[in-house]
Amino acid sequence: MKGRDLLIYLAIKYRGVWNDIYSAISKKESVDSSNVEKLVSSLKCQTLTILDENYPESFKTIYHPPFVLFYYGNIDLLSDYKKNVAVIGSREYSDYGKAMTEKIVREIADKVIIVSGLAKGIDSISHRQCLAYKGQAVAILGSGIDNCYPKENRDLYEEIKKNHLLISEYPGDSDARKENFPERNRLIAASSNAVVVTEAKAKSGTIITVGHMLDLGREVLCVPHRADEGSQCNRLIAGGATLVENGEDVLFAIR
């Protein structure tokens, strides 16, 4: 039995939950090789394991590097994180946040690969603008690779799946569990040279991604907001994040 097949089997069995997979490996859980072959061959998507030569180098250094990545599309979009910029923000957004997301993505879409999380709000706006301006998109899911979440993003999901890169550490139709999304955010960070936060509320999961970026020593770029809005962007800028107002600012920060 190949080591990569065993990892894929365990990732499917334990629905991509890192601690459960690690525990099974540590305990040398016994498996039936015929079951492994059957389960692995049943996959619709492609797979990349931590044992494979083309596993992204930037993923190897993060907390809990995924044992298996399930994906559709062009995995080469993760071959060099320095070419990638994440554009993310809150699910609830203002007209200003939407406009600034569209402006920045429009101005950088032909120069970098745009990474985001396919979530409602700023993530969706980022992906749509990237596709509208013929950019290359990477969508990192907090649900199973075959589970489009949220459902209203089905068109985005299908377009990115077909022509870009759709990726998840969760197999098949695994549920979009609440705890998956902070885990997903570490992969957004690992995939990107910089993160652009165009809008972030007080309890936004965006701040988790920012934390991962700082851990990796990468650029955090934020769009300024009005002082009376209580924006996390302003607080991040006050704490040392780079203020950006347009695509040129983003490209200057990462050059």
| Structural domains of the chain ordered from first start | 3-73 (no CATH), 76-254 (3.40.50.450)
Q: 76-121, pLDDT tens digit by residue?
A: 999 999 999 999 999 999 999 999 999 999 999 999 999 999 999 9
Distance CA 43, CA 50 (A): 18
Stretch 114-137: mean pLDDT, rounded? 98
CA dist 214 and 204 (Å) reads 17
Residue 125 CA, distance from chain mean position = 15
55-81 burial string, b = 16+ CB within 10 Å, else e? bbebbeebeebbbbbbbbbebebbeeb
Q: What is the mean pLDDT of residues 146-151?
A: 97
pLDDT in tens, 176-222: 999 999 999 999 999 999 999 999 987 778 999 999 999 999 999 99
Alpha helices in the chain (DSSP H): 3-13, 18-26, 33-41, 95-108, 122-132, 154-163, 180-190, 206-216, 232-238, 247-254
pLDDT band per the 50, 70, 90 thresholds, residue 10: very high
pLDDT-derived band at 229 (thresholds 50, 70, 90) equals: confident
Query: Could you give the CA distance from residue 111 to residue 172 in angstroms, rounded to a whole number?
Result: 33
Res. 24: pLDDT tops 80 = yes
Identity of residue 116: S
